[in-house]
Amino acid sequence: MSESSFFTPPASDDGLIERGVARSTLFQGRMLQAVKDEVVLPDGSPAVREFVIHSGAVMIIPLLPDQQLVMERQYRYPVGRVMLEFPAGKLDPGEASLVCAERELKEETGYTAAEWAFAGVLHPVISYSTEHIDVWFARGLTSGARHLDEGEFLDVCAVHVDQLAAWAVQGAVTDAKTLIGLLWLQNHLSGAWPLNWLPADSTQHVVPAGPWSPSVSGNPST
């Protein structure tokens, strides 16, 4: 493929952007808020967008020696299945991304990591949720005791990257964030997607701050 055949984004996205003018809350739960926004389309027409506001989350890809990975098996009620996943968890209000990643890894698996690398941001459900997931890699792992939340039940296991890839091809692994994590891992191992590894206590970890949700020009109603 020649360089000239690559797509060049336009200078402006004004012909695609929708503008929010009012918001009402449809549901307020413990973890999620469902809202309805009145918007103006690029051609000036009115429309309605219903979506879920989510505080965001982190996912950790913990690397053991010999291309083994620390993973979890957990029953996910909405899909009625036990799922194989990378460790992950929701950001608490005001919590830094790496702090959340360290906390979730320790609480769910018992592992701590000497080095961390921020890979990027994943938006798993762009059609109806503001959720974003910060993707972290961790290595130099030390095992310890888990501290699961009350009512949380999950198994921790070690899976070789080739086994995870085989299960993905077979359709046995369907969790979106885990499949994206596998893609990132394979590209990292091949050298195509390098990572910037830093000590856990480094102040140089850089994570995009967003915002990852639309704003409204009017006063949101509740």
My answer on whether 95 and 183 are in the same domain is: yes
Residue 142 has pLDDT above 80, yes or no: yes
Measured CA to CA, the distance from residue 118 to residue 138 in angstroms comes to: 9
Q: What is the pLDDT of residue 221?
A: 45
My answer on whether 181 and 143 are in the same domain is: yes
Domain that holds residue 85: 57-199
User: What is the arithmetic mean of pLDDT over 90-113?
Assistant: 95
Sole residue written with tokens 């103006």: 40
Residue 184, domain member (yes or no): yes
Q: Per residue in 56-79, pLDDT tens? A: 999 999 999 999 999 999 999 999
Residue 222, domain member (yes or no): no
Q: How many CB atoms lie within 10 A of CB 187?
A: 13
User: What is the arithmetic mean of pLDDT over 175-186?
Assistant: 98
Residue 218 has pLDDT above 70, yes or no: no
My answer on whether 37 and 112 are in the same domain is: no
My answer on whether 90 and 157 are in the same domain is: yes
My answer on whether 100 and 69 are in the same domain is: yes
Q: Per residue in 149-179, pLDDT tens? A: 888 899 999 999 999 999 999 999 999 999 9
Overall number of domains in the chain: 2
My answer on whether 82 and 117 are in the same domain is: yes
Confidence of residue 219 (pLDDT cuts 50, 70, 90): very low
My answer on whether 144 and 62 are in the same domain is: yes
Average pLDDT, rounded, for the chain: 93
Residue 7, domain member (yes or no): no
For a pLDDT cut of 90, what percent of the chain falls above it?
82
My answer on whether 165 and 88 are in the same domain is: yes
Ranges of H-type helices in 91-215? 97-109, 161-170, 176-190
My answer on whether 71 and 43 are in the same domain is: no
Residue 118, domain member (yes or no): yes
Residue 4 has pLDDT above 80, yes or no: no
My answer on whether 179 and 119 are in the same domain is: yes
User: What is the arithmetic mean of pLDDT over 174-201?
Assistant: 97
Confidence of residue 2 (pLDDT cuts 50, 70, 90): low
Q: What is the pLDDT of residue 210?
A: 73
Q: Per residue in 10-36, pLDDT tens? A: 999 999 999 999 999 999 998 899 999
- Taking a C-beta distance cutoff of 8 angstroms, is the pair 131, 31 a contact? no
My answer on whether 158 and 140 are in the same domain is: yes
Q: What is the pLDDT of residue 198?
A: 95
Measured CA to CA, the distance from residue 44 to residue 56 in angstroms comes to: 31
CATH number of the domain enclosing 188: 3.90.79.10
My answer on whether 34 and 95 are in the same domain is: no
